[in-house]
Each structure stands twice: as C-alpha cells, then as structure tokens.
Amino acid sequence: MGNSSSKADNVVGSESPDSPEAILREMAKSHSTANISPSITCSSASSGINLKSESKLSRSASGADVTEKYLTQLVPVEKLAVILKEKSVKLGVNGIASDVFVTQVFPHYADLGKRLFTFLHLNSRATTTYLGTMAFRQQCERFLGIMDDAKVLECYIKMYAQEDNPDFIDKEGVTRLLHICYTIAMQHSGNGFVCSEINRTFSSVTKSIFFSQDSMSLGYVCRWFEQNLMRLVLLIHKYCVHTLSTAYRGLEQGPPPCGIELQTPVLEQRNPFTEKSPSGNVVDASSSLMPLSQAWLLAGALPPSYSRPQQVTSPNSSKASAAQIFKEKLSMMPSHWTLLYNSNEHGLGANRFLHHVLGYRGPTLILIHAENDQTYLVAAPGEWKETHLYVGGDGSCIMQLLPKFVILERKPNILYLNTCVRGYPKGLRAGSDPRKPIISIDEHFEKIDIKGIAHVLLSIEVWGCGDKTSREVQLDIKKWQIKEAERQRTVKLTAADWMDHPDRFLLELGGRQNYNN
C-alpha cells in the first residue's frame, strides 16, 4: 500500500495544491482513513468535525471515484496516464482530453478510440469534457479487469449504440462494429486485399438481427452476438487491452506506434479466397467462390477447430518475441483453408465430389449455391465417409449465409452421405430429422431440396479446414490408389501360376491351344 500511495503522489506531483484533483485526493485520503480506523472516526466526531458532507461527495467533476481506497497497480496505465496528461496540458486541458487519447493511443482506428473514450467518460460520470488522471486510471483498470465474455460483449455493443437513445442500437451501429472487427482482423493478418462482397456480408448479418426493424434493444443484440458471432467481438477487446497496456512504450520512445502490424507466418502466404487488389483487379477469381469477408465471418461463427491457425511459436524460441506471439493469437483469419472441390472447375456430380472429398481427414465446409442468390453451409468436424448412418461430432453445423446469416442447426449426428448402400436414401443430407432433412441433395447431385422446397443447384464448393498434414495424407492416399490400379493392370505371372490361371482355360475354350507363357 505504501508503494501505491507513493506512486499516486508522483503521478500528480506536477499539479498545483489548489487544483481540484489535489483537493479531492486529500478528501479521498481522509475518507479512506475514516473507514479504516474507527478510533480516528470517534475522535473526529468528538471534536465536532462533520464527515457526512464528505461521504456524500463520492465523485469528482473530472470523474474520479474518491471513495475508492486503492489506486490502480497497473504500471503501464500509470505511465500512459502521465504521458497523456502532459500532452493534454499543452492544449490547456488539466486532465486527459479525448483528442489526445485518440491520436496517441488509437491513431489508425479513430472511431474506435473515440467510442472507447466516450465509454470510459460515461462510466466515470464526469461533468467535464475531459477525464482526470485519477479517473482515467480507475476506468482503465476496471475496463482491463473485465474477464467475463458476456460483459465484454455488452461493453462494445454499448459503445456502438445510438447517441440519442443509448438503450438501442441501429443497423448503422452494428455495421460499424462489424467493420472495425473486419478491419482489425485483415490489417493484422498482413492481408492488403479488399473484398468486393463486404457490404453484402454485413447486410446478411443486419438482416438476420433487425428483420424489418430499424433498431433493436441492446439486450437482444447482445444475445444474438453471444449465440452467433461471439468470437468476432472478443477480437476487438484483445486488441484494445493490448493497446492500452503497451501504448506508453511507443509514446516514450518517440512517434506513436502504427497499430500492431500483425504478419503471422500463416497469413504471409497467398490469399486462398476471392480477392481484389487495391487497383481493383481481380486475383485468382476463377479458383475460388468464397469471398474473403464471408470466410472471416465463418471463422467467428464456427468452433475454433475450423479456424485454428498454425502452431504458435514457442515463447522460448530465440526467433519469437512477445509481439509476434500476440499477433498470432490475435489473428483469426483462416488462411490454412484448402479448396478441395469446386464444381465450376472439377464438374458437378457425385463421383467428382467423392473423388475430391473422401480421404480428407479433417474438418470440411460445404458451400451450396442455389437459385435466387441463396447460399447454405454444411460444416463437418471430421472426415466424410459413405455410410447409411447419420454421423458428425459436436462441431457439426448447418447455416444459411445468404441472403441472411442464420444458424439453422448445430448438434451432432446431422450429416449423411450415401451413394452405394442399397435400401437407404442416397445422396447428401444434413439435418437431425431423417424424414425431413434441412438440406437434401440427390445421388446424382442434380437436384436439391432446402427445407422441403425444391431449388436449382448451381454449384458446390468444399473447403478443407485441417492442417497441412490432412491434405498431404489425402494426396498420398490418392497417389497410392493410382499406383495400385496401374500395378493390378499389369500382373506378372510365373509358369506355375499360369497353369491354374482362369485366363488359360478361357483361351483353351476359345480354341487357342498355342500361346506364349
């Protein structure tokens, strides 16, 4: 406690004795002393000192909670508060100004910085336009101390709520929240490409949340994100926590840091999804159907087993740094997804599907494109096998991606693939009810029924979500099958084997008595 008090005195050492912060600090000390020592309280009461008026004053004009006994013990926050206070004083503000906080801490995400400062300012209930040093430290400590994912989600939904009606959030607020999630994920993955379908992807989410309404309550939107896209919002919190904890280093050394240049080894590879360069030219559009923004959305909606990146570098490695380890953990873009099957390229048919998908021992995603701009997803956590039983682990899932983003079913044993077992339905099916599956494709992959309604099947694509080993094992199996087929075509027989071989008797029955062994 002695160290905490000395740090607090050093932080405000530059303030004048008559400043509001200094006066309130003395009030806080006397108030905390009264709470700690009953004997002092009694002596104060006997001497006629009235402490009731002081106990009623629990918060300063700049937002500091004077009833809080202990100041923050987070040294990075203390240093950041001192630096921001010094820069704000140059602007004539005796505290921490919003503009200084945004330009120094969040220079590349100004909107996020403004909303975070406004959130801290509202929670402090300050009557001034700025935050006092003590109030800033208190609010940062409470913000960094949030451990419950549901509370973290609630904080960021509140940040993007309507200004005139803070209990509701509109489509624009949700779109801004999704956009900052996407921007941080993309820029921190080293991906400089622009997705042309980003507005379409965001629109599918807002249609699912708001239906025909213009705004919804914060509680409803929080529950929707908690059930569907929880991991996307948690990514922002990781970034904000990291920034608030390390921003003072860049400010002490000189110019502000340029965000966090996340360039994980996984994401330095060629982008496997449909993409556009900054000049507007399409790159590899023919080799993929899934937009980059849609892949990002699925990475946040599906279990981590689908989007788990490559193994993070060990902290004991000589080539690893704390920043690199954090970058790899923060990035959730699934660059390791491999395109196994594309009906536009490989042909639409059951045999083509089985040839490219069977043997892949890892999670897979099947995207089904139907008429009227409808896209559905079937997620399988394990290897596909032909069987007359419904299979699938806990990560099995059925989604509608377009025109609305909806999770239709998420439970085990909802996947079915059969093209050879007689007496059982043939084709590809997904759904817990065998009599009324959500998605049903016939054995020839020509017709599709979605929720019992026939649709025109346009195309199918399958993505492998396992590691490199899963893909290499599948390719090795296919190579072995080809070699085995070639070997069986040219069988070398010895003279002893030929005497009892069926082909010899067939030749003799055909009238050919003379032949070469």
209-262 pLDDT, tens digit each: 999 899 999 999 999 999 999 889 998 999 999 999 988 887 766 544 444 433
Predicted local distance difference test score (pLDDT) of residue 48: 41
Domain membership flag for residue 411: yes
Our count of domains for the chain comes to 4
Residue 303 sits in the same domain as residue 188: yes
Quick one: which of 442, 462, 460, 463 has its CA closest to 348?
Answer: 460
Half-sphere exposure of 239 (CA within 13 A, CB side): 31
Distance between CA atoms of residues 292 and 198, nearest Å:
8
280: left (phi over 0), alpha (psi -120 to 50) or beta: left
Helix, strand, or coil (residue 301): helix
Predicted local distance difference test score (pLDDT) of residue 336: 74
Predicted local distance difference test score (pLDDT) of residue 106: 94
Low-confidence ranges of the chain (pLDDT < 50): 1-24, 26-57, 70, 255-271, 275-288, 309-331, 517
Predicted local distance difference test score (pLDDT) of residue 252: 66
Domain membership flag for residue 514: no
Distance between CA atoms of residues 190 and 302, nearest Å:
22
Residue 308 sits in the same domain as residue 202: yes
Residue type, 127: T
pTM for the model stands at: 0.72
Q: Please give the biggest Cα pair distance in the chain.
A: 133
- For residues 188, 191, 196, 198, the Cα torsion angle rounded to the nearest 10 degrees is -20
- Burial letters 28-58, b for 16+ CB under 10 A, else e: bebbeebeeeeeeeeebeeeeeeeeebeeee
SS3 string, 363-389, reads CEEEEEEECCCEEEEEEECCCCCCCCC
Of 308, 336, 364, which residue constitutes the final position of a domain?
336
**Domain that includes residue 503, residue range:** 471-509
Distance between CA atoms of residues 299 and 229, nearest Å:
9
Pair of tokens at residue 204: 């599918």
Residue 124 sits in the same domain as residue 170: no
Predicted local distance difference test score (pLDDT) of residue 31: 41
Residue 211 sits in the same domain as residue 281: yes
Domain membership flag for residue 232: yes
Domain membership flag for residue 390: yes
Residue 208 sits in the same domain as residue 275: yes
Residue 304 sits in the same domain as residue 382: no
Predicted local distance difference test score (pLDDT) of residue 248: 85
308 Cβ partners below 8 Å, 6+ apart?
none
Residue 102 sits in the same domain as residue 211: no
Distance between CA atoms of residues 358 and 378, nearest Å:
15
Domain membership flag for residue 515: no
Strands (E), 451-500: 453-464
Residue 476 sits in the same domain as residue 398: no
Residue 425 sits in the same domain as residue 485: no
Predicted local distance difference test score (pLDDT) of residue 466: 81
Residue 316 sits in the same domain as residue 188: yes
Predicted local distance difference test score (pLDDT) of residue 160: 96
Domain membership flag for residue 516: no
325 Cβ partners below 8 Å, 6+ apart?
312, 313, 315
Domain membership flag for residue 184: yes
Residue 231 sits in the same domain as residue 332: yes
Predicted local distance difference test score (pLDDT) of residue 38: 39
Residue 205 sits in the same domain as residue 137: no
Domain membership flag for residue 517: no
Of 336, 368, 391, which residue constitutes the final position of a domain?
336
Of 115, 145, 175, which residue constitutes the final position of a domain?
145
